[in-house]
């Protein structure tokens, strides 16, 4: 199966700072990537996605960077807020096949 | 807008009892539907997916089954629950397999 993992299981940041959450994948043919946010007791919430023909995509306060050379994906959150505290995980798929999900990084925002 | 509903939110069942978890989607037609299990500290594991009424694909052998009796209804079932069936079950939908999946808020299943 695919290997999708996160570099750090936990991350603590000060409110107002920027956060960077990383994800590594093993399949060089992976062509679609998604970041999800999951709050305690809730289902994952779609944040942003990126396809392999791009290396950067921006949303509201979030940016996803894709480095296909080293098979690395990152999520940057600008001006992190207490409401950003959650588990973040990446997912990847290849040619429309099933998604493989990482185990997640727990982000804690310190007021 | 599209919404997805799962119920119940929590469920405590004895070993050997049957199970029925329901998921419905509103605001879209002919969605792809998915059942996942999420274990603590592990990634989501795909259990079943469906591209249409009556069409179910199983990704892992298990004690569970799925059915899609209506276009926007997806049901996860078991005839006899095992202790190992405990977990957090998530339903999701997507427009197609190459689009983001959107999740419900899950059912926390505890087997005693």
Which of B43, B59, B100 is nearest residue A101 as measured by Cβ atoms? B43
Q: Which chain B residues are Cβ-neighbours of A97 within 8 angstroms?
A: 97
- The number of helices, as runs of H, and strands, as runs of E, in chain B is 0, 11
Bigger pLDDT: B60 or A88? Answer: A88
**Residue A109 neighbours by CB under 8 Å, 6+ apart:** A12, A13, A14, A15, A19, A80, A81, A82, A83, A84, A85
Q: Which chain A residues are Cβ-neighbours of B43 within 8 angstroms?
A: 4, 89, 100-104
Confidence of residue A6 (pLDDT cuts 50, 70, 90): very low
Judged by CB atoms closer than 8 Å, whether chains meet at A42 and B44 is answered as no
Bigger pLDDT: A5 or B26? Answer: B26
Mean pLDDT across chain A, nearest whole number?
91
User: A97 to chain B nearest CA, in Å?
Assistant: 7
Query: By CA distance, what is B38's nearest residue in A?
Result: A103
According to CATH, the superfamily of the domain at A4-110 is Immunoglobulins (2.60.40.10)
Judged by CB atoms closer than 8 Å, whether chains meet at B105 and A43 is answered as yes
What mean pLDDT do residues B82-109 have? Answer: 95
Which of B43, B98, B108 is nearest residue A96 as measured by Cβ atoms? B98
Judged by CB atoms closer than 8 Å, whether chains meet at A103 and B42 is answered as yes
Q: Where are the domains of chain A?
A: 4-110
**Residue A60 neighbours by CB under 8 Å, 6+ apart:** none
What mean pLDDT do residues A90-100 have? Answer: 92
Confidence of residue A4 (pLDDT cuts 50, 70, 90): low
Confidence of residue B22 (pLDDT cuts 50, 70, 90): very high
Q: What CATH topology corresponds to B3-111?
A: Immunoglobulin-like (2.60.40)
Structure tokens at B83: 């202790």
Which of A42, A100, A104 is nearest residue B105 as measured by Cβ atoms? A42
User: A44 to chain B nearest CA, in Å?
Assistant: 6
Please provide the DSSP assignment of chain A as one string: ---EE-S-SEEEEETTS-EEEEEEE--TT--EEEEEEE-TTS--EEEEEEETT-SEEE-SSEEEEEETTTTEEEEEESS--GGG-EEEEEEEESTT---EE---EEEEEE-
**Cα–Cα distance between B85 and A30 in angstroms, integer?**
31
């Amino acid at each position: 199966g695919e290997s999708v993992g996160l570099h750090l299981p936990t991350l603590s940041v000060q409110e107002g700072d920027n956060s960077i959450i990383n994800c590594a994948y093993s399949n060089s043919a992976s062509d679609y990537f998604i970041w999800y946010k999951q709050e305690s007791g809730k289902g994952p919430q779609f944040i942003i996605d990126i396809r392999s023909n791009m290396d950067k995509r921006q949303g509201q306060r979030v940016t996803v960077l894709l480095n296909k050379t080293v098979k690395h994906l990152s999520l940057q959150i600008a001006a992190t807020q207490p409401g950003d505290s959650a588990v973040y995980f990446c997912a990847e798929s290849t040619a429309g096949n099933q998604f493989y999900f990482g185990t997640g990084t727990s982000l804690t925002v310190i007021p | 807008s599209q919404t997805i509903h799962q119920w119940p939110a929590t469920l405590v069942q004895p070993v050997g009892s049957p199970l029925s978890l329901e998921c419905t989607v509103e605001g879209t037609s002919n969605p792809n539907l998915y059942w996942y299990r999420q274990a603590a500290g592990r990634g989501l594991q795909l259990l079943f997916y469906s591209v249409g009424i009556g069409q179910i694909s199983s990704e892992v052998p298990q004690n569970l089954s799925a059915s899609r009796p209506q276009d926007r209804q997806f049901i996860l079932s078991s005839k006899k629950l095992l202790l190992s069936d405990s977990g957090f079950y998530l339903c999701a939908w997507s427009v197609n397999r190459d689009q983001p999946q959107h999740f419900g808020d899950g059912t926390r299943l505890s087997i005693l």
